[in-house]
Structure 1
């Protein structure tokens, strides 16, 4: 009687562990990536010989220490800024108190620009 030795099959490479590792890497990179869109903030430095004060064509606003906007001593919302503008006021001058954070200042500038104002000047008060 002749018995054949069964051939030893080489174990195959399973795709399941490879797919698991790729999926875990995909999830990791999706969670580790920031999807926020960054934008530049152009900075205009005043010349040393200028007085640095706005003329009458500017609407003057101030960012307070808690992030509020004020105009002429009264609190205004960013949406109310467009109501302060008229045909001769198309520019906004934003003065920031030293106690206000940078995030509060930039949030105020972004909110003002969202109302349609293109010219916004940012000033840090002493």
Structure 2
């Protein structure tokens, strides 16, 4: 005598295993591509003949020739710089080290405005980024 085995009832819902695979692949893609991305704007920095390596700073400010400001790689303004300084002071209890990366074609008044803002917040560690000049060897 033959016995009849009823088929499994149809499943209702979404299979989650393929979704997890896709999420991990996307996560891997974004992690790998973000490590190759340049966080700052491309600026044409002035050259210097000195061979000193800058220290790691807490806040990086980039100025482009057209006057755009980026703080730690994100578009910003003078108010954003001021807020970042205040947040850093409130969180760590000390003034941050700042690196200013200004394109060599930026008008001096823009650089001076940012330096003036930093001085008003008693920032004592300011580094000016530059491109290494030709070696005299």
TM-score by length of 2: 0.45
Which protein has greater RCO, CA pairs closer than 8 Å, 6+ apart? 2
TM-score by length of 1: 0.48
Rg larger for: 1
